[in-house]
Amino acid sequence: MKTRQTTTAPAAPATPAAGLTSTIMPGRAYLTAAVDEATGEITETSRFRYLPGHPRQIRFDAKAGQFNSNGTVPLGSSIRFIPLAWRIFHDNILNMGRKLWAELFYADDKGAICAVLFHGYSVENLYRLIEPLFYDDLTLADVVVKVQAAKKETVKDGKKATYYIAEFSYEPADPAEVQARQEFARDFPIWRQETHTGTADVRIRDGYTVPAEAEAVTEEAPETQQAA
């Protein structure tokens, strides 16, 4: 797959017939087309903003039952999105030891490409969503996924403790929005540099793509560390 370095499509000069500017169709579903009335030049601009390998980080605080952006901006106890890429994998990432993780990528309401991670029981709950979709010949990319923090209680050292896990549900998605995200995922490498080690045991992957040059750096890393 050819990797692009920008999410803004280059200008495509053309001179449309008079009165037809409102019917111009962009080359991809995630692009919007506009015409310069003075020159007749058509430009296509991406609806989505994405720095490859560095999506906006959405965090699930399992202690508070809240989502946040980059650890600072509160998003509430639930989020909704149409996934454009995801993977479920075992790996040691973020200095948390080897765990089973689910990593989902999506475009937020402002068009920013985001990544959110789940582990533990939350991953098991995601599987419970994936299975019925699979048997209905659907994937996570075909639906709007709602993630809700669900309160749980446990007893530790004789004391009651509260924590939260993510529960997942879905509803039908607009086919045009689905198409836009699927085409974007085909045109750009959807991944997060901080969570890519090259040693993951992947169970499920869809739309997740690491650039060849990043894979090469990961493969060379162990030898570099030994030489040091």
Asked if 25 and 106 sit in the same domain, the reply is no
Write out 63-93 in H/E/C secondary structure. Answer: CCCEEEECCCEEEECEEEECEEEEEEEEEEC
Residue 73 and residue 25 share a domain: no
Torsion-angle region of residue 47: left (phi > 0), alpha (psi -120 to 50) or beta? Answer: alpha
Report yes or no on 146 lying in a domain. Answer: yes
- Tell me, yes or no, whether 75 and 113 share the same domain: yes
Q: In the structure encoding, which two tokens stand for residue 153, read together?
A: 């209680």
pLDDT value for 20: 42
Q: Which residues pair with 91 in a beta bridge?
A: 99
Asked whether residue 225 is assigned to any structural domain, the reply reads: no
Asked if 21 and 72 sit in the same domain, the reply is no
Domain of 70? Answer: 56-202
Give the dihedral sign, CA 79/85/87/93: negative
Tell whether 166 is covered by a domain. yes
**What percent of the chain clears pLDDT 70, i.e. is strictly above it?**
84
Shared domain for 119 and 166, answered yes or no, is: yes
Q: Would residue 220 count as lying in a domain?
A: no
Predicted local distance difference test score (pLDDT) of residue 100? 97
214 is a domain residue: no
* pLDDT tens over the chain, length 228 residues: 443 444 444 344 444 444 444 457 788 999 999 888 888 888 899 999 999 999 999 999 999 999 999 999 999 999 999 999 999 999 999 999 999 999 999 999 999 999 999 999 999 999 999 999 999 999 999 999 999 999 999 887 788 889 999 999 999 999 999 999 999 999 999 999 999 999 999 999 999 999 988 887 666 554 433 433
Task: Say if residue 101 is in the same domain as residue 63.
Answer: yes
56-102 pLDDT, tens digit each: 999 999 999 999 999 999 999 999 999 999 999 999 999 999 999 99
Domain shared by 43 and 152, yes or no: no
221 within some domain: no
Is position 103 within any domain?
Answer: yes
Q: Measured between alpha carbons, how far is 162 from 160 in angstroms, rounded to an integer?
A: 7
162 and 125 housed in the same domain: yes
pTM of the full structure: 0.83
* Per-residue model confidence (pLDDT) at position 218: 66
Residues 77 and 189 in one domain: yes
Cβ neighbours of residue 217 closer than 8 Å, sequence gap 6 or more:
none
Give the number of domains in the chain: 2
